[in-house]
Copies of this chain bind each other. A is one copy, B any other.
Amino acid sequence: MLKAPQHQVAGHEAAGVGNLGPLVDGSGSFYKPLQDDKRGSNEVAFYTSLSTNNGIPPHIRRFFPRFYGTQHIEASDGSGLLPHLVLEDLTLGRVNPSIMDIKIGSRTWAPESSEKYIEKCLKKDRESSSLPLGFRISGLQIYRSKELGFWKPGKKAAQKLSTEQVKLVLRRFVSSNTLNDLDLKPDCAFASTVYGGSTGILSQLLELKAWFEDQTIYHLYSCSILVTFEKELALQGKNPGAQIKLIDFAHVYEGRGVIDHNFLGGLCSLIKFISEILTAPSECKIDVSAKADQKNLTD
């Protein structure tokens, strides 16, 4: 029995008009419709390359969703059989996951992209936090409580968060006092169990960083890190299952002997923000109205 997944926070995959949307089978597979332009075939090519590449160490391979091939599936609207990527369902077993989809890189386009595509992406990069921060939050949901459900800002709002707002969201993500959307003093109650520790988010990000300092196989443009954990488990003092996964590979290019400095730079920027929360969880800057633009030293 295929059904729409419960916890999509971002991406092309959201179902809409003329857009089938992804499906899950409830037993571990996630069916992602192939985008019908070149992006679909690019993503299949990436997963195929990844699954046959012996150069990816196991401790890095676990950051990618498992790939089970492609499959044609009957469209629910009866429009026929459509090709899907069959991937690991990253939210299997999750009850009320808090999720952030963080698109990494200050640049979401490859040097060889078409003029038209570059122009489109550059505009988005400049309008979002990608350019100043080296990443942007493409979507998120933060679990609040059984009664209140999730805090889930719109995708556009998430992408345009200012620097200070992004810092705030990264704190709210691991806070217990998120009942009021406008709460401005996140308590970072779960920072040490979710971000910290030997298996926490920061530790995973640092493993990924070490690999990106060295690997010259792939350049990942417009790729996201999906950060998830289960707040209710944290509340019960259990392991909240904090994990990162890389997703969205429609714009992967060969590295050809050069590291992915664009991804790496953005990743280091995210790491710095997370580190700061762990170093000073109580120091929450509240000044969300602060001008987030950079200033020239003489301005």
Interface residues of A (CB under 8 A from B): 38, 41-42, 45-46, 49, 106-107, 110-112, 126, 131-134, 163-164, 167, 213-214, 216, 219, 252-259, 261-262, 264-266, 268-269, 271-272, 285, 292-298
Contact = CB atoms under 8 A, between A and B. Distances in A.
A259 B133 CA distance: 8
Contacts of A258: 132-134, 163, 269, 272
A107 to B, nearest CB: 7
Contacts of A112: 293-296
A297 B256 contact: no
Nearest to A167: B257
A131 B106 contact: no
Contacts of A254: 294-297
B294 A256 contact: yes
Given A106-B107, A219-B294, A259-B272, 9 more contacts: A49-B297, A111-B294, A214-B272, A253-B294, A253-B297, A254-B297, A259-B269, A261-B266, A261-B268
Contacts of A213: 268, 271-272
A293 B216 CA distance: 14
Given A131-B111, A214-B272, A298 B253 contact: no
Contacts of A262: 106, 134, 265
Nearest to A132: B111
A231 B253 CA distance: 39
A272 to B, nearest CB: 5
A295 B256 contact: yes
B295 A163 contact: no
A258 B45 CA distance: 35
